[in-house]
Structure 1
Amino acid sequence: MTTFLAFYQHLGPALTALVIGTFLLAGMVKGIIGLGLPTVAMGLLGLAMLPAQAAALLIIPSMVTNLWQLAFGGHLNALLKRLWLMLLLIFLGTGLGTLWLGMGAEQWVVRALGAALLIYALSGLCLPTFRMTPPTERWLAPLCGWITGIITSATGVFVIPAVPCLQALGLSRDQLVQALGLSFSVSTLALAAGLAWHGSLGAGEISASSLALVPALLGMWLGQAVRQRISAVLFRRVFFIGISLLGAHLLTSD
């Protein structure tokens, strides 16, 4: 597959429509709550294609939207000084996990994706926000980075346990949004390197992923408009319930 046209011709009209609709919805979710694009994309696309193929499609939309999120806030240097070890272990965990686990066609990969989605949703619905003390942060944040990398390498989902960890650091809203963009950018780069190593991210996949950026950006714009009109708390709850149902379905599918 050397062009995005060949890629989508191979998928067929039904799956192409699923890709467009998925990235439109995923972009809306990210526009409203600031995260969720890869989670929604991997969850929905995982219903109809291999996880490695779904992960290849999300690389460009994820990277561009995360860099956009990362660019604003004015806290980049401070966050890099504080989180560099966690970010390094996310990258190394993803890279080494890719060599060890990969993201193949085995059924356990789909179930692992379902489990990751379900754990993420239940943690968002049920667990209270906790605060990490500086002594705890010194060892727990790097450990969370390593575990996040391993989970990313197997499922393409890079929110667990990185997101709860970052939320526990007591960051301001602007700092947290920028820290999430930083973490997700590192995860996306590492995932792209792993997919390329295994031959799952060639010119055709990159072109197809670039085309998926269009509905993702449109969805982000719509989501930011919707955010002004609905309760973010209510939307987050509905989002987590939907992700939990999707995760449970993938976890129990044959």
Structure 2
Amino acid sequence: MLSDPYLVVLAFCVFLFAGLIKGTIGLGLPTISLGLLTAFIGLPQAMALMLVPAFLTNVWQALAGGHARQVMHRVWPFLLAATITVPIGASALTLVDLDLLSALLGVLLISYSAVNLAGLRLMVEAHREGWVGPVLGAINGVFSGMTGSYSVPGVMFLQGIGLPRDQLIQAMGMLYLGSTIALAAALGGSGLMSASLGFGSLLAVVPALTGVFIGQKVRRRLSETQFRRVFFVALLLLGIYIFLESIRSLLG
């Protein structure tokens, strides 16, 4: 990839844009970068390239905020299940048609966007958290390994248990961070993380962090509500495109 100037410029622009989204609304870097890159270079390569930027931009989110102990005490069964099942899903990358997995990514992006645009919210009663968390965590981990998308249904669960805003953001950071580490290990173990892709992922940190910095400046000037709506509409269209292209490739 690094030998192709077009792909280098493409990756730079994608991570700059994804970082901008992350800095503006606090989420979206893995989702946006994965969705856009998959449309051009394929799912496993896109997953590999997003790893280092996703790791670094979520370390602070997971550790900062002062609520790590409370959050971990409440959701550790969910986080554990979401992390240890990632390799199970990642095994599909060498066993299942990649166009089928790309179609699944499209479905997840469509679902995630549609739920947020409709304002729907999963409600999990306190006495059910003990078993709902690990079940949804395991599903989230398998989907993360298969597609690189960390949000469905994990973020819905974290929203549904009624965490205060600061704790929710920190819990999401923990989910993304654990999933990224597990996915990196799974890709490396499957031989899908080449030295070239690893170096490319490291270089992608520069535009990603630049985008985050710009996004933080933009956040002060824009309505977050309006920006989130535009973001999810764009994500919905991207998901539809990836799904249709994958189905076309499967049928062709």
**Alpha-carbon distance between aligned partners in 1 of 2:131 and 2:162, rounded to the nearest angstrom:** 16
| Structural mapping, 1:102-251, within 5 Å | 102=93, 106-251=98-243
2:2 pairs with 8, 24, 27, which one? 8
> 2:194 and 2:6 mapped to 1: Cα distance?
23
TM-score (ref. length: structure 1): 0.93
CA distance in 1, matches of 2:121, 2:218: 26
Deviation at 1:105, TM superposition (A): 5.8
User: Which residue pairs with 1:70 in the alignment?
Assistant: 62
Aligned-residue CA RMSD in angstroms? 1.3
- Distance in 2 (CA, whole Å) between partners of 1:60 and 1:88 is 21
Structure 2 partner of 1:79: 71
CA distance in 1, matches of 2:220, 2:139: 35
Please tell me whether the aligned partners of residues 115 and 121 of structure 2 are also in contact (alpha carbons under 8 angstroms). no
Distance 1:102 1:134 in 2: 36
Q: Secondary structure at the match of 1:47?
A: helix
State the Cα distance separating 1:96 from its structure 2 match: 1.6
Q: Please tell me whether the aligned partners of residues 52 and 200 of structure 1 are also in contact (alpha carbons under 8 angstroms).
A: yes
Instruction: Please list the CA deviations of residues 31-86 of structure 1 after superposition, one character each: whole Å capped at 9, or x if unmatched.
Output: 11111111001110011111110010011000000002122111111111111111
Cα distance in 2 between the residues matched to 1:57 and 1:245: 22
Name the CA distance, whole Å, in 2 between partners of 1:106 and 1:96.
16
Alignment correspondent of 2:45: 53
Opposite residue 200 of structure 1, the aligned amino acid is: L
How many correspondences in the alignment? Answer: 245
Identity level (%): 38
Q: What SS does the aligned partner of 2:124 have?
A: coil
| 1:178-199 deviation digits (Å, cap 9, x = unpaired) | 1111010011011111111111
SS in 2 for 1:27: helix
- List alignment gaps of at least 5 residues for structure 1: 1-6
Local SS of the residue matching 1:200: coil
> Take 1:105 and 1:53, find their aligned partners in 2: how far apart are those partners?
15
1:89 to 2:81 alignment: yes
1:102 shift after superposition: 2.2
1:41 to 33, 37, 41: 33
* Alpha-carbon shift at residue 161 of structure 1 (Å): 0.6
- Displacement after TM superposition at 1:131 (Å): 3.5
> Counterparts of 1:234 and 1:199 in 2: how far apart (Å)?
42
Q: Distance in 1 between matches of 2:196 and 2:244?
A: 32
Q: Distance in 2 between matches of 1:157 and 1:58?
A: 11
Gaps of 5+ in 2: none
Could you state the TM-score of these two structures normalised by the residue count of structure 2?
Answer: 0.93
